[in-house]
Structure 1
Amino acid sequence: MNRITSQLGSQLSLVSLNGTRRAAPPALVLVAHGSRDPRALSTVRLLVERIRELRPHLTVRLGHIELNEPLLPDTLASAGPGEAVLVPLLLSRGHHVKHDIPEAAAAAPDVRTRVAAPLGPHPLLVETLYARLVEAGWRTRMSDAARRSSGVVLAAAGSRDPDAGVDTRRTAQLLAERLGVPVVPAYASAATPNVPAALRALAARGRHRNAVASYFTAPGRFATECAAAAPWIAAAPLGAHPAMARLVLHRYDQALATPEPASERALASA
């Protein structure tokens, strides 16, 4: 019944007060990285379904940067003439966000595109990270002694782009404020420290009860390797948590609300 009500409301939203039909909004193209791990594709597809449930009138398509089909250029080519907002399923600024996605958008002349900001940093990511930690066994209430001995490593993919490090550190700061314990960012590749080094740094500060928070959008090799280093609990990746679907739509709406010349395909401001 809730889905029927939502769909009816969505259809009515496309009808103006004088009874004429409004133009459909630009399509949302969710741009995932891609992974050889089959769990990644199934996770992203589930996230797409959750986005569609939240906004049934919106056309939602999926494109990948590499490794999985459909690839982003194929998604844009099959979309036909129209408008689209590309929302990166990426957690920070980096080469894919700054170069690969805009270049793919520019190479699709039949589609008027704009590129949204990456998902992070944002409080909805912190909401998801917190929920995944609690699912893994993190206690929502701790004694003062337990809190003084606890810490979290925020395990991320890593990038050589300094802006990516800035974004990840900001997420770590927000998560630390939510948890009330230190949160140290660590990286699976291309940046330091790695997860074992971050765990040693926490131990050197007297923090011996440490969890690993998975700052990955879906399961994959990096997420698995980082989780294996956890001395206590390791949270699941962000996945298709409801807050992730809300965040994707927020970035979509934000991109549409950002003034932008029609001829310019630039990142929407974070």
Structure 2
Amino acid sequence: MTVVLAAHGTRNPHGVAMIGDLAAAMSRRLEETVRVAFVDVLGPSPSDVLAALPDDEQVVVVPAFLARGYHVRADLPAHLAAAWHPRTVLTTALGPSPALADAASGRLREAGYRPGDTVVFAAAGSSDRHAVTDVRRAATRLESVLGTAVTIGFAAPPAGSAYPGIADAVRRARRRPGRVAIASYLLADGLFQRRLADSGADLVAAPLGLHPRVVDLACRRVLAAQQRHADRLSPSRG
């Protein structure tokens, strides 16, 4: 079996390396080959990777996305259709998942978060209603983990965005006393994480990246897909 970890893509070498490190961590845990593909910015694309694999190879594609936006619901299925690999299974995206709230909380505490800090939950940004719903759900889960209210800001807010840009979100958070802390809801380093760093917050959590809960979640997506595939192939029991 081959696993394809399909991420967005970034020109930031550190961000690319983080996705590669996540794939390597998955490979060690699963004891399977895990390849990396990108749907935007750079290659190889998912269709490129799939086209290079033997037709009899079982392939599991894991969308390395934290919400069910356009790339998950349209781009990835289009890549799979273009490659036409006969034994490919597409898993659900990494998010939304309670595991990501745990990872975001862990990263926030690593950055120096203290009770009483005002928290801004920073996501990439999307006009897709499914993605916005997922971000709102993830922020609510983080509120539950931290035991405090959080506000939402987008690193790249689209026109008519449901939430403000991250710099505006930080300025609004300044109306409350105490420090402003950003919980990063990004998977890897890159342009959007730099925008968080430049937003004026007192502390900014690192991307979720290789947090143990993220690695575990990605592996569980693969194992669940394998089980679904096995169930479909097994004879029905009367």
Q: Distance in 2 between matches of 1:179 and 1:110?
A: 44
Q: Which residue of 2 aligns with 1:239?
A: 209
Q: Which residue of 2 aligns with 1:21?
A: none
Secondary structure of the corresponding residue to residue 218 of structure 1 = coil
Residues 63-115 of structure 1 deviation map (CA, whole Å, 9 limit, x = unaligned) = 11122332212111111212212111101011100111011111122342221
What amino acid is aligned across from residue 81 of structure 2 in structure 1?
A
Q: Which residue of 2 aligns with 1:36?
A: 11
TM-score (norm: length of structure 1): 0.78
Q: Structure 2 residue aligned with 1:121, among 61, 72, 96?
A: 96
Q: Distance in 2 between matches of 1:245 and 1:230?
A: 30
Q: Which residue of 2 aligns with 1:196?
A: 167
**In the comparison of the two structures, how many residue pairs are matched?**
227
Q: Distance in 2 between matches of 1:48 and 1:138?
A: 29
Q: Which residue of 2 aligns with 1:20?
A: none
Higher deviation after alignment, 64-73 or 154-163: 64-73
**Offset of residue 256 of structure 1:** 3.3
Q: Structure 2: which 5+ runs fail to align?
A: 233-238
What amino acid is aligned across from residue 50 of structure 2 in structure 1?
L
Segments ≥4 residues shifted beyond 3 Å: 200-204, 256-262
Secondary structure of the corresponding residue to residue 201 of structure 2 = coil
Secondary structure of the corresponding residue to residue 74 of structure 1 = helix
Higher deviation after alignment, 247-256 or 26-35: 247-256
**Offset of residue 180 of structure 1:** 1.5
State, as a whole percentage, how many aligned pairs show the same letter: 36
Is residue 160 of structure 1 aligned with residue 127 of structure 2? yes
- Taking the TM superposition and a 5 Å limit, the aligned residue runs for 1:207-246 are 207-246=177-216
- Taking the TM superposition and a 5 Å limit, the aligned residue runs for 1:249-268 are 249-258=219-228
Secondary structure of the corresponding residue to residue 30 of structure 1 = strand
Higher deviation after alignment, 237-246 or 162-171: 237-246
Contact 2:48/2:83 (<8 A) preserved: no
Q: Structure 2 residue aligned with 1:96, among 60, 71, 79?
A: 71
What amino acid is aligned across from residue 221 of structure 1 in structure 2?
L
TM-score (norm: length of structure 2): 0.88
Q: Which residue of 2 aligns with 1:4?
A: none
**Offset of residue 183 of structure 1:** 1.3
The structure that has the greater radius of gyration is: 1
Q: Structure 1: which 5+ runs fail to align?
A: 1-25, 263-270
Higher deviation after alignment, 165-174 or 244-253: 244-253
What amino acid is aligned across from residue 133 of structure 2 in structure 1?
V
Contact 2:166/2:195 (<8 A) preserved: no
Contact 1:30/1:63 (<8 A) preserved: yes
Is residue 181 of structure 1 aligned with residue 142 of structure 2? no
Q: State the Cα RMSD in Å.
A: 2.0
Secondary structure of the corresponding residue to residue 58 of structure 2 = strand
Q: Which residue of 1 aligns with 2:29?
A: 54
Q: Distance in 1 between matches of 2:53 and 2:200?
A: 43
Secondary structure of the corresponding residue to residue 152 of structure 1 = strand
